[in-house]
Chain A
Amino acid sequence: MGFYAVQSLNALSFSMLLLLTGLGLSVVLNLMNFVNLTHGSFFLLGAYVGVYWLASGAPWWLAFPVAFVAAGLAGFLLERFPFRQFYARTHLMQVLLTYGLSVIFADLMRWGFGAQILSAEIPEALRGVVFIMDMPFPIYRLFIIGFGAALAFALWFVIDRTIWGAVVRACVTDRGFVETLGLDTRRIFTAVLVISAGLGGISGALGAGILSAYPGLDEEVLILALIVVVAGGLGTFRGTVLSALLLGFAMTFSKVWVPEFSNVVALAVMAALLVALPEGLVARKVRQV
C-alpha cells in the first residue's frame, strides 16, 4: 500500500516536471502558433543557473526567480531576432530554425559551463524525507509537486480568467482586430515568449535538483516536453496537463513493473494515444479551408 502510494507520488512529481516544461512550450504554441524547439535550451540554462545559484550560498529560494529572469532574458533577445521574422512562416520552417538554434545554444552552453555534469545542492530545508506508511519520499519532490501545481494554476488563471489572457487569446484569433483596438500585439507576443522562456528556466532550476545539469539534458527534456504538448492536443491547457500526467505515470509505473522495457512501454502508450486520437487528447476545433 505504502509502496504504491509512494510510487504514485514519484509519478506525480515527474509529471509535474514534464508539465512545467511542457507548459512553457505549449504557451507559445497555443497562443502564438509558434513551435519553439529552443525550449530545451531555456531549461538547461535554468538548470545551470540553479546549480550555480544554489552553490553560491545566496538565499536558495531566489534561485527560481533568477532562473526565470535569465531564461526570460534569453527569450526576450531571441524574440527580437530571429523569432519575430518566423511567426508567419510554416511550422516546418519554425521547427528548422529553432532546432538549428538549439544546436548552437547547446554548444555555446557547453563552451561556457563545461562538459562536466553539475548537480544542484538541494537546499537544507528541502533535503529530508517523509515516511508514508514506512516508505521514504523526498521532501524536495513534494516541493516540486506543490510549486509546480501552484505555478500551473496561476498560469491557467491568468490565461483563462483575466483580461490579459483574453487579450493574448484574441491576438491569436485575429491579430489585426486587436491592433485596431489600439493594443500593440508585438509587445504582447514578446511578453508571451518571455514568460514561456522563463517557465523553461524555472523548470530547469527545479529539475536540476533531480536531473543535474550537463550537455545533452536540453535535448532529452525537449523530446519529452514535445511529446507531452503534442499528445495533449495543440491549443489546450487541459490537454497538456492530462498528457503530462499520462506520460509521467506511464514512465514511472513501467519502471515499477517492467523496468527493462520501461521506455518501450511508455513510448507505446503515447503512440497508441496518438493513433487513437490523431489530434491529441483534447483537440482544438479548427475550421478547414
Chain B
Amino acid sequence: MTERFPLSRRSFLATAGATAVTGAIGAPALAQTANKPLKIGMVTSLSGPFTALGESMRAGMQMFLAENGGKLAGRAVELIVEDDQAKPDEGVRKFRKLLGQDNVDIVSGVISSAVALAVRDVVTEAKALTFISAGSANDLARKAASPFVFRPTKTNWMLGHTAGQWAFEKLGKSGCLTIAADYAAGRESVSDFVASYQQQGGKVGKQLWAPLGTTDFGPLLTTIAAERPEFIFSFFAGSDAVRFLRQMREYRLHGKVKLIGSGALFDQEDVVSAVKEAALGGLNTCNQSPTAPSSAAFTKAYQAARNAMPGEMGTAGYVTGQVIKAAVERVQGDLSNKEKVKEALLAKEVETVFGPMPFDPRNNQAILDIYVNEIKEGAGGPVNQVIHTYKAVRDPGPVA
C-alpha cells in the first residue's frame, strides 16, 4: 500500500522515458518513407498581444491544408500548432519542443520579429527546414539570414522603402511628420521610410515616438494638430493601430491630414474591420492586399470560412502552406536531402496569394510585389484597394 506512490511515479518516468527514446531514435529513420505523415510544426501567438493575428495565421494554414485534402505530395500532413505568447523565450522553448520531441519535418509560423530572431540560432543549429511566415526584422534577411530559413514574407525595409517612394511622388516633397511605436519594428520602418524619402529629396519634419501599448494618443495628436503637417507616415500594429486611428478621428485629424503607413497600420482583418470609417482614405504599403488579383479566390474562400476579409496574417498562414507545398512537391515528398529541397525552392518562383514569389538565393528572402493600398468604401465596409503595385521588390540583403 505504502509503495504505491513511488512505484507509480517510477513507472510513469519509465514510460515517459521510453516514449522519448522511441521519439528520438525511431522517427528520423522512418521519416523518409512516403507513407509516413509529414509533420509540420507551426509556432504562432495564441495568447498575448498578437492573439488575434495568431488565430488568423493558424486559420489560414488550416484552410490551405483542408483545401489540399490534408495531403501534400501524397503524404498525409500532421499540423502541430504551438503558442509562443509573442515572447521570444517561449518561442524558443516551443521550437525546441517541436524539433526535439515532436520531431517535425518542417517548422513554420512566427509573428513577432523578436521571436523570429530568437529562434534563428536554434533552427540553424538543428538545420531544420524553417518557413518564417511573418517576422519582418530586416536583419533576418541580412546578418541573421540562415541557409535553411526561408522567408515567404516581407522585410520592414520593403514597406518603408516603397512608402517613401510613393509619399515623395504623390503626397508631397516636404511637410512630412512621422509617428511610430517605439520598438524595433517601428524604428526600422521609420528609418527605412525616411532614408528613401530623403534620398529623393523629401524633407522630414517632426518625428514622434509613442511607447508600445500607448493607451491615450490625445497628447500626441494635440502636438500633431499644432504642427499642421502635410502628411503623416506612421507605424503602429494591433490595438495601438486601432486606438491611433480612432483617436485621429476623435481629434478631427482624420481626413485633414493624409496618412500613410506600413501594412500593419491598416491590416484588413485586424485593424480596418475594427476602426471602420476611421480608416477611410488611409494609404499603406503592404505585401498583401485582399483586392490583389492573386488574392481573389482566397479572399472569397476566407470570407466564407471566417466571415471576415483576410488580413496579412491569415494570408501569411495560407501562403506559408503554399510555399511548403511547392517545396515538398518539387522533391516528391522526400525531405531527406535539405540541400535539394532548398535548390528546388530557389529554382523557380512560387505562385502565391501574395503574388508571384521568387526567393533570393543570397538569403532565402522572398522577392515580393508590394501593393500600395488605399482604404475605400467597399461592399462590406472599408477595404484595402490596390492603387499601385511595385513589382518584384528585393531587400538589399546581406550586403546592406
A interface residues (Cβ-Cβ under 8 A, vs B): 3, 6-7, 10-11, 13-14, 110, 114-119, 122, 129, 135-138, 140-141, 210-212, 214-217, 220, 251-253, 255-256, 259-260, 262-263
CB pair B216 A6 closer than 8 Å: no
| A46 CB, nearest partner CB in chain B, Å | 16
Interface of A is mostly: helix
Contact of B250 among A122, A251, A262 (CB under 8 A): A122
Question: B252 contacts which of A136, A251, A259 (Cβ < 8 Å)?
Answer: A136
Of the residues A141, A212, A251, contact of B243 by C-beta under 8 Å: A212
Given A210-B216, A260-B209, A116–B250 Cβ distance below 8 Å?
Answer: no
Cβ of B246 under 8 Å from chain A: yes
- Tell yes or no: B295 within 8 A of A by CB: no
| Cα distance A11–B247 in the bound complex, in angstroms | 15
With A210-B250, A212-B243 known as contacts, the answer to whether A10 contacts B218 (CB < 8 A) is yes
A135 to B271, alpha carbons, bound, how many Å?
28
Chain A residues, CB < 8 A from B398: none
Q: Which residues of A contact B47 (CB under 8 A)?
A: 110, 215
Closest to A216 in B: B49
Interface residues on chain B, size class: 35 or more
Q: How far is the CB of B265 from chain A (nearest CB, A)?
A: 13
How far, in angstroms, from A210 to B239 measured CA to CA in the complex? Answer: 11
Select B246's contact among A10, A119, A259, beta carbons within 8 Å: A119
| Min C-beta distance of B58 to chain A, whole Å | 11
- Chain B residues with Cβ below 8 Å from A259 are 208-211, 219-220, 223
Whether B139 is near chain A, meaning CB under 8 Å from some CB there, is no
Give 16 new A-B contacts, CB below 8 A, not counting A3-B226, A255-B216, A255-B220: A10-B216, A10-B218, A10-B219, A10-B222, A14-B218, A110-B47, A116-B273, A117-B270, A136-B253, A210-B247, A214-B52, A214-B242, A216-B239, A252-B216, A255-B214, A256-B223
The one of A122, A214, A252, A262 in contact with B218, judged by C-beta atoms closer than 8 angstroms, is A252
Question: Which of B213, B226, B274 meets A220, CB within 8 Å?
Answer: B213
* A119-B275, A135-B222 given; A212·B246 CB < 8 A: yes
Which of A117, A211, A260 is in CB contact (< 8 Å) with B182?
A260
A-B CB proximity, top 3 nearest? A115-B51, A10-B218, A255-B219
CA distance A129 to B250 in the complex (A): 7
Q: Does B118 reach chain A (CB closer than 8 Å)? A: no
Q: How many angstroms from the CA of A212 to the CA of B238 in the assembled complex?
A: 11
Q: Which residue of A lies closest to B278 (CB)?
A: A119
Contacts known (A138-B250, A216-B239, A220-B215); A115 close to B222, Cβ less than 8 A: no
Query: Are A117's CB and B274's CB within 8 A?
Result: yes
Q: Give B193-217 interface residues, CB cut-off 8 Å to A.
A: 208-211, 213-216
Give the nearest-CB partner of B247 in chain A: A210
> Do the beta carbons of A117 and B239 come within 8 Å of each other?
yes
- Residue B55 lies at the interface, judged by CB distance under 8 Å to chain A: yes
- For A220, A259, A263, which residue has the most chain B Cβ atoms within 10 angstroms? A259
Any chain A CB within 8 A of the CB of B225?
yes
Inter-chain contact B242/A212, CB cutoff 8 Å: yes
Contact B243 A215 (CB under 8 A): no
Pairwise interchain contact B222-A3, C-beta atoms closer than 8 A = yes
Q: Does B251 contact A (CB under 8 A)?
A: yes
A136 x B215 contact (CB < 8 A): no
Are A262 and B246 in contact, with the CB atoms below 8 A? Answer: no
**B51 near A215 (CB under 8 angstroms)?**
yes
Contact A115 B209 (CB under 8 A): no
B residues 122-154 touching A (CB-CB < 8 Å):
none
Q: B48 on the interface (CB 8 Å rule)?
A: yes
A253–B219 contact, CB under 8 A?
yes
Find B242's partner among A11, A119, A216, A263 (CB 8 Å cutoff). A119
Q: How far is the CB of A278 from chain B (nearest CB, A)?
A: 28
